Every structure is written in C-alpha cells, then in structure tokens.
Amino acid sequence: MGHQLPTAQRERGVELLRDPATNKGTAFTREERDQFGLRGLLPPRVFTIEEQRERALGNVRRKTSSLEKYIFLISLQERNQTLFYNLVLDNIREMMPLIYTPTVGQACLEYAHIFRYPQGLYVSIEDRGHVAEIVNNWQEDDVRVVVVTDGERILGLGDLGAGGMGIPVGKLSLYTACAGIDPCQCLPVMIDVGTNNPDLLEDPLYIGTPRQRARGEAYDALIDEFVSAIQSRYPNALIQFEDFGNQNAFRLLARYRDTVCSFNDDIQGTAAVTLAGLYSSLRVTGKSLTDQTVLFLGAGEAGIGIGDLIVAAMQAEGMTEAEARRRCWFMDSKGLVVAGRTDLAVHKLPYAHEHPFIEDLLQAVETLRPTALIGVSGMPQTFTQPVVEAMARLNERPVIFALSNPTSKSECTAEQAYTWTNGRAIYASGSPFDPVTLAGRTFDPGQANNSYIFPGVGLGVVASQARIVTDEMFFVAAKTLAQQVTEADLATGGTYPPLEKIREVSLAIARAVAEVAFERGLAGAARPQNLSAFIQAQMYVPEY
C-alpha cells in the first residue's frame, strides 16, 4: 500500500509539502487541506493521481534529451515519490531506460554538474571512526535494503568516484518499482575513498574527495566500519554491493557472504539473469544446458559470476564440477584464459584450461566452436561481423548475448546480430534496443536486465528476513525467471518476459527465494500458510 498521511501533530503546511514520502501535491483533498494547514498553499483545483501522472508524462516527453528527462524524473522523485513510482510503473518500458541504464550512465558521468539534492548517505575515507554517527543521521528507522558503491567501476564507464551515487539511487528506484520495496526502507550509499580519474580530480565542481583512491588496510577498515554500522542500526537490512572494481568486488563478497545478509549484483545478479536467458534459449534450440559450450569475452565480475552459476546449474543436471568448468571459456584483454599463462588474477584460475593460447576472438570461436557467445567486456563492437557469422555457421541458432552497459558499450547491436545471422540469432543485450524488422519479420530483442532478478531476490530476502543470501537463491531466481517466458515471447525473439509483467515476475522470484530461506533454516520470519499472499501484502503500491 501507499504511505498514510501524517498526523496533524507531525507535519503540516509547507513542511508536509516538502516531504516526498507523504506529499500529494494537488491531489490533497479539500478536507486534507483544511486538516493539515494547506489551504492557499496549493492551487484550488484538486487533481487525481491519474491526472497528475498525465501532466508529469507530458513534461517528460517534452524534454529533448534523455539526460534532461532523467533530471526531471529525479526531481519528481525528490518531491513526490508516490507520483514518481506511479508514473514509472504505468510506463515501465519508457521509463526504465531513463531512470536506469543507459541514461544513468550519462548521469553519473555528469553527476557533479547536475547535482541538486543529496539522495543518500556519503561516507568518505575521512569519516573513519565516525561512520556509525553518519548512519545514525539517516532519517528512517526501518531500512531493509542498502545499495552501496565505491564508484570504481560504474557500468562500463570505469572510475566515476562520487558520481557513482547515481547507481545506488537508480537501483533502489528499481527495487521499489519492480518489486514493491517501500522507498522509505531503501538507503543508497556512496563510499567515497577518492578517485583515480584525472578528469574528476581536475574538475572544480567534483563533489567527492579530490584524492587518489585509498587501498589496502585503510579501505578495508572503512568498509568493515560501514558494514558494522549498518548491522547495528538496521539488523534486518540487506546490503547490495554494486559497481566495485574487480580487485575489491570478489574479496568483499567472499569476506561477508557467509556472515552478513549481502550479495554483489554485478557478480550474482548478472549471473542469474544471464542463466535465465540461457534456459530460455534452450527452449528454442531444443538442446540441454549440458550440451552447451560458452565463450565469454570479458573475465571480470560479471563474466566469472555467470560462469560460476552456469557451472552450478550444470552440476545440478549431473555433470561434475570439472566437466562443467571445461564448458566455460574466457577471453580477457590479453586473449584466451589458459593454464599456461602466468599473468592471471586469482578469480580467473578456475577457468584456466589446458589449451594453446589464442589471442584473437574470431580464432577462439573457430577453434572452441561455442554454442553461446557472451559479451561482458565493456568494449563496443567487438562482436564483429566475421565473429557473428562464424557463430551462425557453427550453430543453427547461435546464442549471442551482448551484455555490456550502457548501450554505447554493447559488443554488437540487435540489428547487427539479426542481420549477420539472417534472423537466426538468439540475442539479448544489457541495455535496451528497439525492435528490428528483417525480411518481413519483427524481432523484439531481449534485455538481460538485472532488474528482472535483484528486486525479486531482495523482496524474498526481506519478506523472509533471511540471515544470508546464498547461491541457491540466485539459481532458483534464474529458473523462475525463465519459467515466466511464454512461447509468444520466444517467437518474437524475447528471451525474457515483457517489462510490463515485472511485478508479477518479481513476486514469483521472491516466493522461490523465500522458500529457500525457509527450507534451509535461514529465515528469521515465521513461515506463513500462504507465502505468495504474505509477500504480496508487503509490496508498496504507489497510490494515495
């Protein structure tokens, strides 16, 4: 349900209008205007939320750039969050690319120059010893989901320092829009340990700490202090680590996953949504998961996370771990990840197979003969026409997932994939692409958007009060998501359900995740008789 109006003793008049959680703007009734001292502070006509939504939608559409639309929407969120979420949910396909990828990438690049209002907590390296005080400054007493970044690896854009705050803000907007997590229970956090981006360090308007990034003991101590402060004030909160650099992302996940209710969306969420896309593709190809050979371009957080979940899924279907790992191959910036290399990071070693080194992606495709090619490199146009045509020559229905974000970083476009394969590609991308018409047939390409996974996982964790988040939860989330794809979706090229069904999808995933929590003894809540109804009753609905 939506938020109730405050009592007259709490907020009145202008103060009430400035609270985004309870502000209704011109939708305040005449009785409410009298009760809360609003008469004369608003235009006299009372509007419905539907009428307000139409006005806001017109304002969005009149903006001439995606960034200007983003700025308007964020401003709306800051003054009337109920109307903001009502608008987003009613126009989810149009609004999703504006409040998150790809537009959020441009917003983060320019964050210091479009900054208007702080929407979360900023914890800097200079705050060591005082982080609990900062967390206690947050106005809400019942936070259930925290999204935190240190801004080092924002999408495929790299180190954007404090400008990375746009990512937690955007992710939490999706938690609310897609899964109904109450916005008052969401906390975005920017851990500012500096930046190594010279453009930001030279920018007089940069909002972060103008210093080189802290590393080592000082960094770890700050993160530990932050996690402890969150656990102390918000013991039921889920912590989502987002867009950390590779050298910290894997370490932090390993450090906290077994003792803190936490996960890394770039590693685990991306893995689950990609596995779901693979499950959907199998319904088209008629093959089994254990028949697949997957070649990844990119061996960072996303790629290794996907590989690990595919291995777990193959093991669930009867393969040994060694056999399953042998079905996953990785290309990094140097070339094929093989056992003979001496320059490999620790997280790549499980996939360093005995094989001659190959430097070129096309040669790797020709040699390894993959059934699926997955791009998580952040390097645009690396799935060239010869590469895609080779995939089509080797496979009747080649699986080509170009997952790098934002759109400008995609390994190939939907139009390229369909054109170069004569419409035979099973394609998905990280950011949205418009439908493609080829030889009289229209393809609506799937978007492997993490918003299909993490909001539902979070809702299941919050509803069950799970103490930790396990790989099994992401595995069942992937299987549940794939089950939501219809034959009609597959017929038009969709490997994921329509965004318009996102709340229905999130509820199904939340139920599956909560089931795991209850069955494994990880839940703090008592198991209800009707789990779906129990979860649905907790979902925020943006209505007055």
Point out the residues that are catalytic: 100, 171
Strand, helix or coil at 202?
coil
Strand, helix or coil at 263?
strand
Q: Which residue, chain included where needed, has tokens 């909160």?
A: 237
Distance from C-alpha of 146 to C-alpha of 241, rounded to nearest angstrom: 9
Signed CA dihedral, 405, 409, 410, 416: sign only: positive
* Residue 254 C-beta-side C-alpha neighbours within 13 Å: 10
Distance from C-alpha of 542 to C-alpha of 21, rounded to nearest angstrom: 10
Looking at residue 185, the DSSP 8-state letter turns out to be G
Looking at residue 466, the DSSP 8-state letter turns out to be B
Q: Which residue, chain included where needed, has tokens 């609905």?
A: 541
* CA 271 from centre of chain: 11
Distance from C-alpha of 163 to C-alpha of 166, rounded to nearest angstrom: 7
Cis omega (within 30 of 0) for bond into 102: yes
Distance from C-alpha of 257 to C-alpha of 242, rounded to nearest angstrom: 14
Q: In sequence order, which residues have a C-beta less than 8 Å from that of residue 491 and are 6 or more positions away? A: none
Instruction: Give whole-number Cα distances, 406 to 378, 410, 431, in Å.
Output: 9, 7, 6
